[in-house]
Amino acid sequence: MTASSARTLHPGGYAPGNTAFRLIVFDWDGTLMDSEARIVDAMRRALVETGLEVPPRERLRAVIGLGLMEAVAALLPREDRTTHARVADRYRTHYLAADGVPTPLFPGAREAVETLHRRGHRLAVATGKSRRGLARSLDESGLGGLFQATRCADETCSKPHPRMLLELMEACAVGPEETLMVGDTEFDLEMACRAGVASVGVTWGVHPPERLRRQAPLTILDSLEALPRWLAAQRRAAA
């Protein structure tokens, strides 16, 4: 590579100047679906039923995005794996008990996903949900047919390990330099960084902007409607 063709690389490995993102990977909970209240309530009930102290709501919110067992372990670092498994089992029971009440998408989520799909982007989901939970949410939202690939925490490594993202890129036949991760937690953006992928943070989820900035996202957006516009502007600027 000559000096004139070299590009500065982000610590994660991607080149910030690249804006031809063929693959857009979304987190689910807290990014596309407004499921925070349902998740927090199910976890609180699970802890009460197992006779454990319930942490403040902010601590419960802070682990959204991790796989279930990883989230429980983060909340209960002094408890053993047997206790973690009991809490996880009760969580699943309470989360599923709310199935009769649809969990809403965030404003603009459907329109943003449909716009990006229409423009020819490949779309994927990387989530801390179980496969069963994501399948239900995709069916409930009606968005399932727009995603080329999905990965869940119960079938691969939990975030922030990069494996989930690496598997999605392989499934979609797209390289790191052509991939963008969109998420509301530091776990999402750290996963992207470790996979050599660019990221965009969003402000309506569980982690505040100061946490997201630790992973050097390209930008932090205040609405999903802004994502297609931002991508179009980046492409025009690079043309």
Task: Please identify every residue annotated as catalytic.
Answer: 27, 29
Distances (CA, A) of 96 to 36, 89, 195: 14, 11, 32
Could you give the 3-state DSSP secondary structure of residue 6?
coil
DSSP code of residue 216 = -
DSSP code of residue 52 = -
Q: How far apart are CA 193 and CA 203, in angstroms?
A: 19
Q: How far apart are CA 153 and CA 130, in angstroms?
A: 6
The CA-to-CA distance between both ends of the chain, in Å, stands at 22
Cα dihedral 123/113/38/152 (nearest 10): 0
Give the distance from CA 146 to its chain's centroid: 17
Q: How far apart are CA 83 and CA 76, in angstroms?
A: 9
Task: Return the structure tokens found at 136.
Answer: 């239900």
Per-residue 3-state assignment (H helix, E strand, C coil) for 135-191:
HHHHHHHCCHHHCCEEEECCCCCCCCCCHHHHHHHHHHCCCHHHEEEEECCHHHHHH
